[in-house]
Amino acid sequence: MQQLPPPKQYVAKLADTEPLNGKFIKFQFELVEPNLLEFIAGQYVSFLVSDKGERRSYSICSSPEVKHSFEITVDTTPEGLGVNFLKNLQFGQEVQVLGPMGVFIVQEEPREENLVFVATGSGVAPFHSMIPNLLREKEDKREITLYWGLRHEEDMIWQDEFQDLAQAFPNFHFHPVLSQALQEWPLCRGHVNDCLNIHTLPTGNTGYYLCGNAKMIQEIKELLINKGIAETAIHHEKFY
């Protein structure tokens, strides 16, 4: 396994918030002490969200090349302790963060020939860090596919960004899937499983990376195994 940067306790301050639509907000934090965060694309950080020691984890959705700050994108619908803590932060307010953590990173050894990323909802966050990092910074020439399931078209974020990447890099393929699509939606409809079912999936030495809720991960895992994918080729990050 790749050497992971050890987690540390950081103080960071809220530098920017950007509501991406009615559902998702992007938060940018600037590191205060220590002032640089080294992480591998796909890792997450844990925020102290109460004075009782309660914490919530959020995947870093920004580039690992940027070390003085990091971004997270949060689905605000749960409206619980974590979401409300983040939403109530004032600009410049300091937070206690523990990170980087997690092993949901693109495997280096053994190297996989193709990469398939599957997300639902906010599960796309780590891929927003990984995919541009692979394509732009690492000039990765492997076939990379992202399947991303959401309910409504208005829930979508980064659609233009992923589509631009697919235009610029012929080895990247983007499949957004809507479960409650309007009549005019031209692409895949239904659940992400339906989309995966109708596509021919690369077998051989392909790494499958799944991120989202536990039910989705279980269902996709079963689907992939039924299609002949080895369990060892399936990696996942469960958000809840």
Ligand X SMILES: Cc1cc2nc3c(=O)[nH]c(=O)nc-3n(C[C@H](O)[C@H](O)[C@H](O)COP(=O)(O)OP(=O)(O)OC[C@H]3O[C@@H](n4cnc5c(N)ncnc54)[C@H](O)[C@@H]3O)c2cc1C
Cα–Cα distance, 117 to 166 (Å, whole number):
14
Residue 103 CB, nearest approach to other proteins (Å) = 5
User: Is the CB of residue 237 less than 8 Å from the CB of residue 130?
Assistant: no
| Whole-number CA gyration radius for the chain | 18
Which of the stretches 32-40, 177-185, 214-222, 232-240 binds ligand X when contact is defined by CB under 6 A? Answer: 232-240
Where in 124-183 is the site for other proteins (CB under 8 A)?
none
Maximum distance among all alpha carbons in the chain? 51
Per-residue contact flags (x/-) with other proteins for residues 96 to 135, judged by CB under 8 A = --x--xxx--------------------------------
Q: Under the criterion CB under 6 A, does residue 132 sit at the interface with ligand X?
A: no
Q: Among residues 118 and 165, whose Cβ is nearest to other proteins?
A: 118
Beta bridge partners of 220: none
Among 98, 114, 83, 82, smallest CA distance to 34 is for 98
Q: Which of the ranges 45-53, 62-70, 122-130, 172-180 carries the binding residues for other proteins, by CB under 8 A?
A: 45-53
Work out how close the CB of 16 gets to other proteins at its nearest, in angstroms, rounded to a whole number: 25
By rule CB under 8 A, what string of x and - marks binding of each residue 84-103 to other proteins? --------------x--xxx
User: Is 122 a residue that touches ligand X (CB under 6 A)?
Assistant: yes
Which member of 10, 29, 39, 44 binds ligand X (CB under 6 A)?
Answer: 44
Tell me which H or E stretch contains 128: helix 125-132
Binding residue for ligand X, selected from 10, 27, 39, 58, defined by CB under 6 A: 58
Does residue 82 interact with ligand X by CB under 6 A?
Answer: yes
- Among candidates 92, 82, 78, which has minimal Cα distance to 121? 78
User: What distance in Å separates the CA atoms of residue 11 and residue 30, rounded to the nearest whole number?
Assistant: 9
CA angle 240, 97, 61 (to 5 degrees): 60
Residues 6+ apart with CB under 8 A from 214: 238, 240
β-sheet bridge partners, residue 33? 11
78 binds ligand X (CB under 6 A): yes
Q: Which does 77 bind (CB under 5 to 8 A by kind): other proteins, ligand X, none?
A: ligand X
Q: Which residues bind other proteins (CB under 8 A)?
A: 4, 6-7, 44, 46, 52-57, 98, 101-103, 214, 237-238
